[in-house]
Structure 1
């Protein structure tokens, strides 16, 4: 699964327009949630609107999960945006020193990935790829789950409940494991797919790299630290909230 909206167009204005459509759709959803909250006479419009948007996002993640499972079972063709591969140039540009002045000049070039569609992959590779997609969806769903929990506790008048503190600690672990696991698993799946569908290095114009290109991102570590810190803050707030309630 892709983790961002990607638009391709020969015209920059058209590409920006489509990006604007996606942004406008999100803003329209937010405005609709605010309007519904106002119609109901809510005194917590921001919380209600945020809760509604988070619930819609979580529902979309659920639909995406179903799509991933169905695609893994029924589709025989899989598109790869970055399949690790090497392209043997007919005449390999030789790297050298840039000439003085003149127009922009290509000094050298290499290819380490290609966009490709592969059919008839083995079940093992398909499972690995599907697992990477599912872990990515789990990471994408975590913010929505946290927002829903915190907003509901706010509406109950107990923003620093133990449930919220525990949710942040659990989210930290989930983001750390699933965030690294998603990228690592997807990298393994791509390398397996390339090795299965492409000839080995030197066996043609477009070949597999002959190596496993694995990626272990660092952002899940930072995100987990932030979530853990928020969990500690909410836990401290829960203690203060209980002490305040005891004084009333």
Structure 2
């Protein structure tokens, strides 16, 4: 996910710049393929974009590891922390609004920074962020791998099928683990910040898991089944061709 904050046009410009970089990388790959008169232009472009995505993810992983050992704060993306609105906050109760207005109710904060936490929290945050990074990188890595194998003439091959199956397992396990670790780490960090008895001290763990890793794993498993069927048909065709050549 690409997120920027600021004024509307400034944020749109920054997001546009990010996508422009991807377009430029794809355009360069397309131009190089045209110069070589390649017949696999779109595969070349997809391979280049996937490779760049993986390379940027490696840099992001290095940043995550450096932050785990060099800073005294962590970024928490976990359980919601309930925060009452200030007494002077302009809000109205239900049924009292005469125009656009905000309802008076407790708000929540799920993304926050925490200073001077234990080394265990630093480690858990690094692992959770790494899980999130793996989930966001895995599709690009698989696309790059499939394009590479296709360019070698091995699209329907056991290696591709195995990669898709492994990818489905990794996406399911790492994706669910990342969601759970975010909630667990956030709760443990809040317990270090607030003393027992504080209204903000989390008494219980509130765990949640997104359905995205499950859906993605099912999609990859289905794609692996499709490639397996293609591999079987290709093997039968090759065997039939050998038998025909033997008869001739």
TM-score class, shorter-chain normalisation, is 0.7 to 0.9
SS at match of 1:244: helix
1:190 maps to what in 2?
Answer: 186
Per-residue Cα deviation, 1:147-179 (whole angstroms, up to 9, x for no partner): 122112211222111111111111111110011
The alpha carbon displacement at 1:87 in A equals: 2.1
Residue of 211, 214, 234 corresponding to 1:218: 211
In the alignment, structure 1 segments of 5+ residues that lack a partner are: none
Superposition TM-score, scaled by structure 2 size: 0.87
Q: Distance in 1 between matches of 2:170 and 2:224?
A: 14
Per-residue Cα deviation, 1:31-54 (whole angstroms, up to 9, x for no partner): 111112222332211111111111
Q: Distance in 2 between matches of 1:156 and 1:63?
A: 28
1:241 maps to what in 2?
Answer: 234
The alpha carbon displacement at 1:23 in A equals: 1.6
Contact 1:84 1:209 in 2 (8 A): no
Distance 1:81 1:171, change over 3 A: closer
Distance 1:27 1:208, change over 3 A: farther
Q: Does 1:70 align with 2:63?
A: no
Q: Distance in 1 between matches of 2:92 and 2:196?
A: 25
SS at match of 2:107: coil
Distance 1:54 1:236, change over 3 A: same
Q: Distance in 1 between matches of 2:164 and 2:88?
A: 52
The size of the alignment, in residue pairs, is 240
Q: Distance in 1 between matches of 2:78 and 2:130?
A: 18
Distance 1:176 1:81, change over 3 A: closer
Q: Does 1:125 align with 2:112?
A: no
Per-residue Cα deviation, 1:28-79 (whole angstroms, up to 9, x for no partner): 1111111122223322111111111111111111111111111111111223
Superposition TM-score, scaled by structure 1 size: 0.87
1:39 maps to what in 2?
Answer: 35
Q: Does 1:139 align with 2:135?
A: yes
